[in-house]
């Protein structure tokens, strides 16, 4: 098997050396070069183009965001942003994702060397996943960083239980996505009419990032889009996005649906986790729900979607041709949790049809 060729672009000699050591120890990866700024990197890359670029933001002569935009316009290549700036707020992270970054790793301002060494497994996972990204489906934005931690399942947040559902006419759409999801969600949500069923969404994102993302979507969509707060109502014409760093569950009180935002351990490497949301939707909405799993790395959401289907929900997966990373939908298919696969541009039609009382 051909090794994944990686170029490291960072003005810190320490970071370059540590990243070379961490990535170079993996038999599936070869580091073809390390440069102190994008202009040096471009010179090196002319001789051999990398499969993945690990890119800092603050650098001399050309900053990482400018370089990222240049790459996506001229030679789309999977880029993992590795920067301290993405942890200081949401602006830089949002700019990177909108410019086409495949994933984000936030470096600490202190203890950098030990952090990179301790997080080596997750760095390797992120780079390997980025190498599989379908760049033809990355126009101007892409995904969120994979959270780091031991892999747990949804039992740690919401134990599996029998689905005791009373009849209701209220309908709920649950969406789960990761890598490539910021762009994909914009495509889906911006196409929905104001009268649409209530939507709950988990997009794998860093903490403090989702509020800005939801605000941007709210400005371009007919429906209301907001970062979920505890006890927010799930109502027609509104989409609630789980806050970064928190799990979100659907709950029911009488005839009304609302969300519960909670702390808890990471599940399937993520918090929020799609499995946690989907399990709660299976439990409290059952056949009154539509589950949609979209572009993303890993398998978060696959088991939850199967639980939704077993509870009577209709389930949809984004097809491979339109995914940036065909990981989460593929795993859901393998588990038998998908009723049908559709193109990204058709998902809004499924939601509209579901809201009218049917499925396509």
* DSSP run (H or E) holding 213: helix 210-220
Residue by residue, DSSP assigns 171-185 as -EEEEEE-TTHHHHH
Rounded CA gap, 244 and 247, in Å? 8
Euclidean distance between the first and final Cα of the chain, in Å? 41
Rounded CA gap, 228 and 261, in Å? 8
Rounded CA gap, 49 and 67, in Å? 15
Buried b (16+ CB within 10 A) or exposed e, 12-28: beebbebbbebbeebee
Give the tokens for residue 295.
Answer: 């572009």
Please say whether the dihedral angle defined by the alpha carbons of residues 64, 201, 204 and 2, taken in this order, is positive or negative.
negative
> Active-site residues: which are they?
178, 204, 300
The dihedrals phi and psi of 316, each to the nearest 5 degrees, come to -135, 145
- Residue of 267, 268, 301, 304 lying closest to 285 (CA atoms): 304
The dihedrals phi and psi of 54, each to the nearest 5 degrees, come to -100, 115
Q: Which residues contact 325 (CB under 8 A, 6 or more apart)?
A: 102, 129, 132, 133, 134, 143, 178, 179, 180, 295, 296, 297
- Give the CA count within 13 Å in the CB-facing half-sphere of 359: 17
Q: Torsion over CA of 56, 62, 66 and 71, rounded to 10 degrees?
A: -80
Rounded CA gap, 172 and 288, in Å? 6
Query: Is the separation of the CB atoms in 182 and 142 below 8 Å?
Result: yes
- Residue of 90, 229, 241, 251 lying closest to 176 (CA atoms): 241
């Amino acid at each position: 098997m051909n090794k994944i060729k990686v170029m490291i672009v960072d003005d810190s000699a320490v970071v370059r050396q540590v990243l070379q050591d961490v990535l170079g120890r993996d038999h599936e990866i070869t580091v073809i070069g390390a440069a102190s700024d994008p202009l040096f990197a471009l010179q090196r890359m002319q001789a051999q183009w990398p499969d993945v670029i690990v890119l800092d933001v603050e650098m001399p002569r050309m900053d990482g965001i400018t370089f990222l935009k240049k790459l996506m316009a001229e030679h789309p290549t999977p880029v993992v942003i590795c920067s301290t700036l993405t942890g200081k707020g949401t602006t830089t992270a949002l700019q990177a994702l909108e410019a086409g970054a495949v994933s984000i790793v936030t470096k600490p301002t202190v203890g950098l060397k030990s952090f990179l060494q301790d997080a080596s497994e997750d760095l390797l996972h992120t780079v390997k996943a980025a190498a599989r990204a379908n760049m033809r489906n990355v126009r101007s934005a892409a995904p969120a960083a994979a959270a780091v931690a031991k892999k747990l399942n949804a039992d740690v947040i919401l134990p599996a239980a029998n689905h005791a559902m009373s009849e209701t006419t209220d309908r709920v759409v649950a969406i789960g996505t990761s890598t490539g999801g910021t762009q994909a969600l914009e495509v889906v949500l911006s196409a929905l009419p104001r009268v649409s069923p209530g939507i709950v969404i988990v997009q794998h994102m860093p903490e403090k990032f989702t509020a800005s993302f939801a605000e941007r979507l709210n400005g371009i969509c007919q429906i209301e889009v907001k970062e979920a707060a505890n006890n927010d109502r799930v109502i027609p014409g509104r989409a609630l996005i789980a806050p970064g760093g928190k799990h979100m569950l659907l709950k029911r009180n009488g005839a009304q649906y609302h969300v519960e935002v909670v702390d808890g351990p990471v599940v399937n490497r993520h918090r929020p986790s799609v499995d946690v949301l989907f399990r709660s939707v299976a439990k409290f909405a059952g056949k009154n729900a539509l589950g949609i799993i979209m572009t993303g790395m890993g398998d978060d959401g696959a088991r939850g979607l199967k639980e939704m289907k077993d509870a009577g929900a209709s389930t949809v997966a984004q097809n491979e041709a339109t995914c940036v990373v065909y990981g989460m939908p593929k795993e859901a298919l393998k588990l038998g949790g998908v009723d049908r696969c559709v193109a990204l541009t058709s998902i809004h039609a499924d939601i509209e049809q579901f809201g009218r009382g049917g499925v396509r």
